[in-house]
Structure 1
Amino acid sequence: MSDTAWAWLFPGQGSQKVGMGRKMLERSVAARRVFEEASDAIGEDLKRLCLEGPFERLTATENAQPAIVTVSVACLAELEERGLRPLVVVGHSVGEFSALVAAGCLPLSAAVRAVRKRGQLMASVTTPGGMLAVMGLDGGRLAELCHDAAREGVVVMAIHNSPRQFVLSGDRSVLERFKDVALSAGATECVLLDVSHAFHSPLMGQVEEAWKAVVAGLQLRMPRCPVLLNTTAKPVKTLVCIRRSLLTQITGPVLWTQCMQALVEQGVTRVLEVGDSKVVSSLARRTAPTLQTLTFLEPAVLAQLDAVAA
């Protein structure tokens, strides 16, 4: 694209829904090929899973992750079919794999095999845990509360979604008590998420070595466009940076807010969410209200992108 002010964002787990990818499958030959390639790579009919579910099966971690990456790459293929290319990319958690595919670091087949294994490993963790979304508190105050609560068990700031929206991970009993503490401190809302594990926390350490072996086996290439990494909010400099980010993500935080702030500092004024979702573009707008956002859920998205590229 000729306008260097654009960034492409890729959603992560939690954006899945039955029916996702339908529009791309209907209108793009390239998108259909993506689904076929991804399905062959993991031995799973991802088209059927995405379009028909059932939701309980689609939302299982080991299925949701390859499904989300496949839908994002199908959107990417439709863009490339029209001669559009990303200039800077960033993906939210597992969406980082979609961003790496977009930047030419990793082929689709390798990406979906890796995230299928990632999901299986994460689902296999036997240490119980949970996640709590906290809205309305700034990061500094929330960090203080987490520090105090950590005397009772594990509780960490796992996902920095926007300046006043965070997801905590840790011991479920600690998180349940933390709700009242956060609300008393000024949080506007606290919601325990419907998950069985404490993702992006030390409680995922059980699978760290197995995941390290998977990451070490990835045949990575240097990106052809800047990729901001979740764990540092900085662009890729070496292949070691990529491997370290993919590994650290399992037990460490997703710095989405910091990534969006970095984009703005680099002069980005508009973002496109590449997927069947508006989750990460909405979070971007909460971090930087001046950002213009576009998503594939908008009927005229391709015409608008063609106009920008012209």
Structure 2
Amino acid sequence: MKRLAFVFPGQGSQEVGMGKAMYDAYPSVKQLFDDADEALGYSLTTLMFEGPAEELTKTENAQPALLLNSVAIQEVLKQEGISPQMTAGHSLGEYSALVASGALEPLEAVKLVHLRGKLMEEAYPTGKGTMAAVLGLSQEEIASVIEGYDNELAVDLANINCPGQIVISGTKAGVEQASEKLSEAGAKRVLPLNVSGPFHSRLMKPASEDFANHLSDVNVKQADVPVYANVTAEPVEEAALIEKLLVEQLYSPVRFQEILEAFVEKDVDAIVEVGHGKVLSGLVRKVKRRMKTFNVQDPESVDAFTKWIKEES
């Protein structure tokens, strides 16, 4: 039996057309997409397949679209008898990981992240917050530059993705000012991200309070396999702790590098990116160059992955 870690992509991986090949190839995927449209009260499927891209990119649409796509693929793998020994997701992707681990029901999760996206959009005035990727500096070097920024120019560590790639988040003015200082401190590049808000920063605390109220109405269950939480980079299975960490996740840094390092230490045979794009597979290679990775996002990649499983088992 192969030891597998499933990882699920987050916001930014969305693209018009994603999921269409799986929808056409697998009746179970079509059923799940159709059920999600009914649960949401609008055709997310049409938006995913036809766009427009500007509408799909809106946080309240991108989040349920990415989750639905990832969960549908994971369900196909499950039908093939393939399940992970551990899971994780990048930011939004943590919800897909929780579905894969049995802690959340798929349709409940779709509705929950749609709401989460709305709350995140509304938490801070549009255009006043932003994020930037910092390349070539360590976490400690970046932290020393941004420490002391007050709430007026709030800047926080948001995503610790892999060695030399860390994202900061906060007020637009603060991130712009910090970007200049980080370049002066030796960053190879500081790249503004095309996002609508200061996600994973202290500025998301108002959204987390509203989200906590809604989350209390959701049936979060004990996970069947460990989910490595963004907030702690530690495995979690208990329902109450899962809920607590999902609330904290909104304003805390995503410790994805540490999660990948933990998977490597667990001697998994492969880390499998389940969902659209190859962003996370790229991060895996930055952490452990020779780690076996797969990206499963269409019927061809499902077939290639299942063939490897059967050959190696």
Name the TM-score class by shorter chain. Answer: over 0.9
Percent identity, aligned pairs only, is 37
Q: Is the 8 A contact 1:90 1:99 kept in 2?
A: yes
**5+ long unaligned stretches in structure 2:** none
* Aligned ranges 1:89-104 → 2 under 5 Å: 89-104=87-102
> Shift in Å at residue 290 of structure 1?
2.3
CA distance in structure 1 between the aligned counterparts of 2:260 and 2:117, rounded to whole angstroms: 26
Match in the other structure for 1:245: 245
Please, which moves more after superposition, 25-34 or 298-307?
A: 298-307
- Aligned partner of 1:174 in structure 2 is 174
Partner residue of 2:34? Answer: 36
Deviation at 1:155, TM superposition (A): 0.6
Aligned to 1:133: 133
Work out whether residues 30 and 81 of structure 1, in 8 Å CA contact, stay in contact via their aligned partners in 2: no
1:306, distance to aligned residue in structure 2 (A): 3.2
Change in 2 beyond 3 A, CA 1:81/1:269 = closer
How many aligned residue pairs are there? 308
- 1:189 matched to which residue of 2? 189
- Please give the alpha-carbon distance, in whole angstroms, between the structure 1 residues aligned to 2:82 and 2:29: 14
Tell me how far 1:165 sits from its aligned partner.
0.5
Alpha-carbon displacement from aligned partner over 1:6-37 (angstroms, at most 9, x marks no partner): 21110010100101112211211111112112
Determine the C-alpha separation between the residues in 1 that align with 2:199 and 2:124.
12
1:3 equivalent to 2:2? Answer yes
Answer yes or no: is the 8 Å Cα contact 1:132–1:167 preserved in 2. Answer: yes
Structure 1 residues 209-231: Cα deviation after superposition (integer angstroms, max 9, x where no partner): 21011121111111111211111
1:79-128 superposed Cα distances (whole Å, 9 cap, x missing partner): 12222122211111111111111111111111011001000111112343
1:303 matched to 2:304? The reply is yes
User: Secondary structure of 1:263's partner?
Assistant: helix
Query: Would you say 1:46 and 2:44 are equivalent positions?
Result: yes
Deviation at 1:162, TM superposition (A): 0.9
TM-score under structure 1 length normalisation: 0.94
The question of whether the paired residues in 2 share the 8 Å contact of 1:162 and 1:257 is answered with yes
Following the alignment from structure 1 to structure 2, what is the Cα–Cα distance between the partners of residues 238 and 300? 33
TM-aligned CA distance change 1:169 to 1:32, over 3 Å: same
Per the TM alignment, residue 133 of structure 1 is displaced from its structure 2 partner at its CA by 0.9
Contact in 1 for aligned 2:5/2:86 (Cα 8 Å): yes
Q: What's the secondary structure of 1:133's corresponding residue?
A: strand
Alignment of 1:90-239 (within 5 A): 90-127=88-125, 128-150=128-150, 153-239=153-239
Structure 1 residue 275: Cα displacement: 0.4
Worse-matched range after superposition: 33-42 or 107-116: 33-42
Contact 1:149 1:178 in 2 (8 A): no
**Quick check: 1:66–1:116 contact (8 Å CA) kept in 2?**
yes
Secondary structure of the residue aligned to 2:157 is: strand
Residue 78 (1) aligns with residue 79 (2): no
Distance 1:152 1:213, change over 3 A: closer
Residue type of the partner of 2:308? Answer: A
TM-score with structure 2 setting the length: 0.94
- Alpha-carbon offset, residue 237 of structure 1: 4.0
Name the structure 2 match of 1:289: 289
Structure 1 residues 286-295 or 241-250, which shifts more? 286-295
Q: Give the partner amino acid of 2:172.
A: R
Tell me if structure 2 keeps the 8 A contact 1:34–1:73: no
CA distance in 1, matches of 2:151, 2:81: 54
How far apart, CA to CA, are the structure 2 residues paired with 1:288 and 1:303? 22
**Do the aligned residues in 1 keep the contact of 2:85 with 2:226 (CA within 8 Å)?**
yes
Distance 1:15 1:256 in 2: 16
- Alpha-carbon RMSD: 1.6
Distance in 2 between the 1:112 and 1:9 partners?
18
